[in-house]
Structure 1
Amino acid sequence: MKAIIVDDERLARKELASLLASHPEIEIVDEAANPDEAVEKIEKHDPDVVFLDIQMPGKTGFEMLEEMERVPQVIFTTAYDEFALKAFDYNALDYLLKPIQPERLTESLNKVTIKSAKSEGKDQKLSSKDQVFVKDGDKCWFVKLEEVRLFESDGNYIKVYFDKFKPMIHKSLNALDERLDDRHFFRASRKHIINLGWVESIDTWFNGGLLVQLKGGEKIEVSRRQSARFREMMSL
C-alpha cells in the first residue's frame, strides 16, 4: 500500500517513517511539510493512505481535506487528545496520538483497505465507492458516496443526507453534479441530486413528473423535463 506522511515537523515524519518500516506492506512514496505541498503530492501519487497532522501552520489538516475533490483514506496524527476526541466522534478512519505507539499504528493499518481501482486522472468522475470528507462545525465525517442518499441545494450550500445526519457543505449543486458519476447519481431537479441506489418507490406526479421516495424516507419530485431520462435509467 502506498502512503504519504504529512507533518510540518521533520522529526515527527522521521519517527513515523521509522515505525512504518516494520510494516513491509506499506511503501512511503512521499512526504509533505505543509497542506499545499501535500495536495500536490496526493494528486501525483494517488496513495492508499495518508498520515495527516491536524495542527499545521497556515492551514489545518481539516481545511486541507475540505479543498480536495477526492479524499484518500486518512489516518490523522495529533498531539492533542482532547481535540482529537472532540473532532472524531464521527466516523473518521482513525487517529493516532503522538507519540505514536506501535500497537496503535498496527490497529490503524488494519483498517486501511487497498483501492480496487486507481484514479486515472483529475477529471475522473466520483463514483459511489469514492470517499468524501465532510466537516460541519466541530463535527467531521468520512463518508462513502454510496452511503449518501441525497444532495439538496440550500443557497450557496449543499445539505448532504446520510445515515441520520444532514451536514452542510459550501459548494454549488451544479459543480457537484459535474463531478458525480451519472450511472449512480441523478439530477432530479434544480435543487436535488439523488443516489439511484437509494430509490425505494416511484409514483406518477403532476404535469408528467415523478415522485421518488428514498429508503431514508425523503420524497423528491423529478421534474417533467428529467422524467423521461429518469424512466430510461430506471428501465421504467
Structure 2
Amino acid sequence: MTGKQAYKTIIVDDEPLARLRLKTLISEYPEKFEVIGEAENGEEAIEKINHQHPDFIFLDIQMPEINGFDVLKKINYLPKIIFCTAFDEFALQAFDTNCIDYLVKPLTKERFAKTIEKIDQFNDSETTINIERLVEQFNREYKKNDATSIPVKVGDKVIFIRLDEVSYFQADEKYVSVLTKHSKSYTLDSSLKRLEIKLPDYFIRVHKSYLINKNLLKEIRKHFNNRFVIILDDYNQSKITSGRSFYAEIKSMFEL
C-alpha cells in the first residue's frame, strides 16, 4: 500500500473475544488498517457505518436480532466487506464473488495473511454485493451445526474449547460458566441467549440457567413438580434439574 493511507476499518461482532482476536490480527498490519470503531450488535453497526463511512468492515454474520446481512440492507454506505463466521468454509463458497473474503472462526494468523493477499489483489470494481442473494444463500445453506469450538479468554490469551467436549453451560448473573466433560471450568463474557443462537442443535435449553450437551446425556429421571433430573455422562456424572417451563419440551423431545 505504498503511497496509500490505511483503510479506515470497523469491526462488527457481538462477542467481545471475537472482536479482541480480530483487533490483534489487524494490529499486525498497521499500514493497511486503521480501526476507527467497533460494534457489538447490528443496530450499533448500522449507526457507526452510516456515520463514519469506513473503507472496510469485518462483519460477523450471525448476531442476535439484526444479523450481518440485515446490517448490509440497512446501511446507506457500502464499504468493502470481509465476512466473519463460525460456519465451515463449504457453506460460504458462493460468497467469493460478492465480498473480498470471509474468515471462518476460530481465526488464525495464517488464514488472515491470505486475506491480506486478497486485499492486495482487490479490484475496486468488485465491490457490488447482491444482498438478497446473500440472504437467500444464508437461509438455504447455513446450519448451526457447523460451529465446532468456542473461544475463551484465559489470562492474557484466548483458547478454543471444542464444543463436543462441553458438558453444559451455566448462567450465573452476568457471566456464563463452561463445564467440560473432563471437569474443567471456564468463564464466558456472554449470555445463554446469545449462545443458544450460535451453538449447534445438540445443545438444548433445559432450564433458564442451563444449556446441556444432549450427546452426553446418560439418564433422565422424572422429578416432582413437572421437572426432570438429567444426568450427564461426564467426569462428575453431573446432575441438572430441569425447569418446570421446559417440562413439555423435554418430554416431547425424549418421548418420556
Contact 1:209–1:224 under 8 Å retained in 2 = yes
The question of 1:150 aligning with 2:168 is answered yes
The question of 1:200 aligning with 2:240 is answered no
Any gaps of 5 or more consecutive residues in structure 2? 1-21, 39-55, 60-80, 90-102, 111-136
Contact 1:160–1:169 under 8 Å retained in 2 = yes
Could you give the per-residue CA deviations for residues 61-101 of structure 1, whole angstroms, max 9, x where no partner exists? xxxxxxxxx96243347xxxxxxxxxxxxxxxxxxxxxxxx
Report how many residues are paired: 152
Deviation at 1:221, TM superposition (A): 0.7
2: CA distance, partners of 1:164 / 1:42: 37
**What is the identity, as a one-letter code, of the residue corresponding to 2:206?**
A
The question of 1:161 aligning with 2:179 is answered yes
Kindly indicate which of the two structures has a greater share of residues assigned to helix: 2
**What is the identity, as a one-letter code, of the residue corresponding to 1:149?**
S
- Percent identity, please: 23
SS at match of 2:194: helix
- Change in CA separation of 1:8 and 1:186 when aligned onto 2, cut-off 3 Å: closer
Contact 1:129–1:144 under 8 Å retained in 2 = no
**What is the identity, as a one-letter code, of the residue corresponding to 2:242?**
V
SS at match of 1:207: coil
What do you get for the CA RMSD once the two structures are aligned? 3.8
Contact 1:199–1:212 under 8 Å retained in 2 = yes
TM-score by length of 1: 0.51
1: CA distance, partners of 2:209 / 2:232: 16
Contact 1:131–1:142 under 8 Å retained in 2 = yes
Any gaps of 5 or more consecutive residues in structure 1? 14-31, 49-69, 78-118
The question of 1:219 aligning with 2:252 is answered no
The question of 1:229 aligning with 2:249 is answered yes
2: CA distance, partners of 1:158 / 1:204: 27
2: CA distance, partners of 1:189 / 1:152: 9
The question of 1:43 aligning with 2:62 is answered no
Could you give the per-residue CA deviations for residues 30-62 of structure 1, whole angstroms, max 9, x where no partner exists? xx67696573355269785xxxxxxxxxxxxxx
Residue 185 (structure 1) aligns with: 203
Contact 2:88–2:104 under 8 Å retained in 1 = no
TM-score by length of 2: 0.48
2: CA distance, partners of 1:157 / 1:232: 30
